[in-house]
Amino acid sequence: MGQNQSDSKGIVEKTFSDLKSMKVQGASNVSKAIVETLQKVAETSQAKNENEFREDFEKNALYLLSARPTEPNARAAALMILNVARKDFGSAADIKTAIVRVCEEFEKKQIEAVKKVGEYGANLIPEKAVILTHCHSETVEGILFNAQKKISKIYCTETRPKLQGRITAQHLAEKGFDVTMIVDSAAASFLKQCDLFISGADAILADGSVVNKIGTSMISCYAKRADVPHYVATTSYKFDPTTYFGIPEEIEERPSEEVWDSPPKNLKIRNPAFDITDGNMIKEIITEKGVFSPRMFAVEMYRELELEKRKDEYLEFLKKLNAFK
């Protein structure tokens, strides 16, 4: 094996390990890590022809995606890149150049999308708002940063067991917000003081339901009872088209050690990383395309992705991905 091939394998293995251990976390960061790694794979590939390159490149892409199953954002990015790789360019060098270009373009689009979500969302924040957040979301932070002058106070949950809420709380504190951290189970009590609940999303399903960090659904139910609107901030890349074809979103289950590293003998521990919030519980979904009701967002994505024409493509991609799990 050549030195560059060896380097490429090492890059892929390190990214896979970082994703699996949640050293890299958050849907946007997961997709970014995978896209950047695939770009490096293309740049360092020693494949002599297009077919050899395609076979190796697709295996690396599917392997990386298998590290975190509940990540349609990353799958959308990988599928976009793989569709370019399947085209006939005439040489391995040309196909590598095309892949590097599409990786760079995706990153630019992602950055611009997050920026637009922040701008649209800020317009929905009322004056002197008191807000509750759950977990860590780049899109949620973008909204809060844009609307800082209108925000009176923010409550952040810890978001157990990995405590991602601390990331949000730290970023907000550094920006000068009046921010208070609370334990997850205190959300219902503090919602009574809030004007709105804002969460991110790891996946949007075909019926407008939202997959997000475990605990989101529970807080959304409390918010509904307290008449506090739940807004979801996300880019459109989080929409999972395979759910339109009846494929359920896989909910990642994490190691029990994250919850209790030395539990009593015979104690069973379940550690799902995400839950599903019904679209009926959500006021609106804020995206780079605008602000939609959950159902209308799903309709918009169905039209944009032309899903009636692409069923075979998506199901074949999912079949190949499942082979790596």
Q: pLDDT (tens digit, 0 to 9) for every residue of the chain, 325 residues total?
A: 444 454 678 889 999 999 999 899 888 899 999 999 999 999 988 887 888 888 899 999 999 999 999 999 999 999 999 999 888 888 888 898 999 999 999 999 999 999 999 999 999 999 999 999 999 999 999 999 999 999 999 999 999 999 999 999 999 999 999 999 999 999 999 999 999 999 999 999 999 999 999 999 999 999 999 999 999 999 999 999 999 999 999 999 999 999 999 999 999 999 999 999 999 999 999 999 999 999 999 999 999 999 999 999 999 999 999 888 7
Q: Are strands 203-204 and 129-133 parallel, antiparallel or unpaired?
A: unpaired
Length of the chain: 325
Instruction: State the catalytic residue, choosing from 103, 156, 202, 240.
Output: 202
Alpha helices in 86-152 (DSSP H): 92-122, 138-146
Domain boundaries, the chain: 3-116, 119-309
Instruction: State the catalytic residue, choosing from 103, 135, 156, 194.
Output: 135
For the question of residue 227 being annotated catalytic, the response is no
CB neighbour burial string for 120-142, b if at least 16 within 10 angstroms, e if fewer: bbbebbeeebbbbbbbbbbbbbb
Q: Residue 52, SS3?
A: helix
User: What CATH number is given for 3-116 in this structure?
Assistant: 1.20.120.420
The torsion angle over the Cα atoms of residues 266, 163, 273 and 241, rounded to 10 degrees, is 180
The predicted pLDDT at position 92 comes to 82
93 is written with which tokens? 């060098």
For the question of residue 135 being annotated catalytic, the response is yes
Cβ proximity of 184 and 196 under 8 Å: no
The rounded radius of gyration (Å) of the Cα atoms in the chain is 20
Give the separation between CA 140 and CA 117, rounded to whole angstroms: 8
174 is written with which tokens? 């550094």
- Residues whose CB falls within 8 Å of the CB of residue 62, separated by 6 or more in sequence, listed in order: 78, 320, 321, 323, 324
Q: How far is CA 324 from the centre of its chain?
A: 20
Instruction: State which fold the 119-309 domain adopts.
Output: Rossmann fold (3.40.50)
